Structure 1
Amino acid sequence: MQQQALSATVAWVRLERAMAAFEADLRKRFGITGLQLQVLRICAERPQLPLAALRKALVMHPATLGQSIDELRRLDLVTVRTDPNDRRARLVGLTEKGTTLVGEAPSAGPVRLREVDHDIARLDRLKAALEDAIDLFGVGEWAPGR
């Protein structure tokens, strides 16, 4: 069991380091975070996405998403406007600059799962393994969306 635990830990560390290096590369090359790239890629799927739908898709605290959106607006990568059908709702859309960035940024990280065809059984195994990791690592009480 000790060897399997060590192997699992090494795999996790590799994933963690790969994601950190990816984040650093995004910051250096494009001035955005992985979360911001996810927002941009999801917005690229729909021309005017309700902010509430984006928050639900990302299982994210409103303040965290709001800060990310504000930074993307400052960088002129997205626009945010009031929904003409519901004055309380806000719609997020890509700018031309945002569309260009989405085309140039690498397709990596979790949002890649939405863009590239994968074996459904493999995705099911990944989901189960990640849910299992939450339990095995003992961090379930801090996991959102449960």
Structure 2
Amino acid sequence: MQQQALTAMVAWMRLDTALKAFEASLKRDHKITALQLAVLHIVSERPHIPLAALRKALIAHPATLGQAIDDLRRKGLCQVRSNPEDRRARNVAITESGSELVAAVPLTGPMRLRDVEGEAERLVRLAPALGDAVELFGLAQWVGKQGR
């Protein structure tokens, strides 16, 4: 059991180190966060997505997502407009600069999974393995209600 635990710890540290290095390069090279990159990817695929749908897709706290989108808007990477069908709702759209940034950043992390071909079996195993990781590492209480 100890060897399996050590092997799992090393694998987690490898993943954690790679994610942190990627996030640091995003901040250094493109001045955005991983959450902001995820927003841009989703908005590039779903033009004029309602903010509520974006929040649900990303399992993000409203204030956290709001700050991320406000920063993207200030940088000219996305636009936020009132929804013509429901004036209380807001839609998010990517700008040309946002599309250029998405094209410039290597497709890395969870957003890459949708473009992975020929790996169906590995993807089927990945979701429960990541769920197990959250539980086994004692992190479930920090996931939030939507991620459970």
TM-score where L is the length of structure 2: 0.94
Q: Show the 5 A alignment for 1:1-146.
A: 1-144=1-144, 145=146, 146=148
Shift of 1:121: 2.4
Count of residue pairs brought into register by the alignment = 146
The residue type paired with residue 135 of structure 1 is E
Deviation of 1:111 after TM superposition, in Å, equals 1.2
Secondary structure in 2 aligned to 1:106?
Answer: coil
Q: Deviations over 1:61-93 (max 9, x none)?
A: 111100100110011000000001100110000
Structure 1, gaps ≥5 residues long: none
Runs of 4 or more, structure 1, over 4 Å off, are none
Distance 2:115 2:42 in 1: 10
Q: Once structures 1 and 2 are overlaid, which stretch shifts more, 113-122 or 17-26?
A: 113-122
Code of the aligned partner of 2:10: V
Deviation at 1:143, TM superposition (A): 1.8
SS at match of 2:65: helix
* Residue identity matched to 1:49: I
Distance 2:118 2:131 in 1: 19
Output the CA distance in 1 between the equivalents of 2:78 and 2:3: 47
SS of equivalent to 1:57:
helix
CA RMSD of aligned residues (A): 1.1
Distance 1:68 1:8, change over 3 A: same
SS at match of 1:79: strand
Per-residue CA shift, 1:29-80, capped at 9, x if unaligned?
1111111111000101011111111111111111110010011001100000
Q: Any stretches of 5+ residues in structure 2 without a counterpart?
A: none
Q: Deviations over 1:85-114 (max 9, x none)?
A: 100110000111001111111100111112
After TM superposition, give the deviation of residue 118 of structure 1 in Å: 4.9
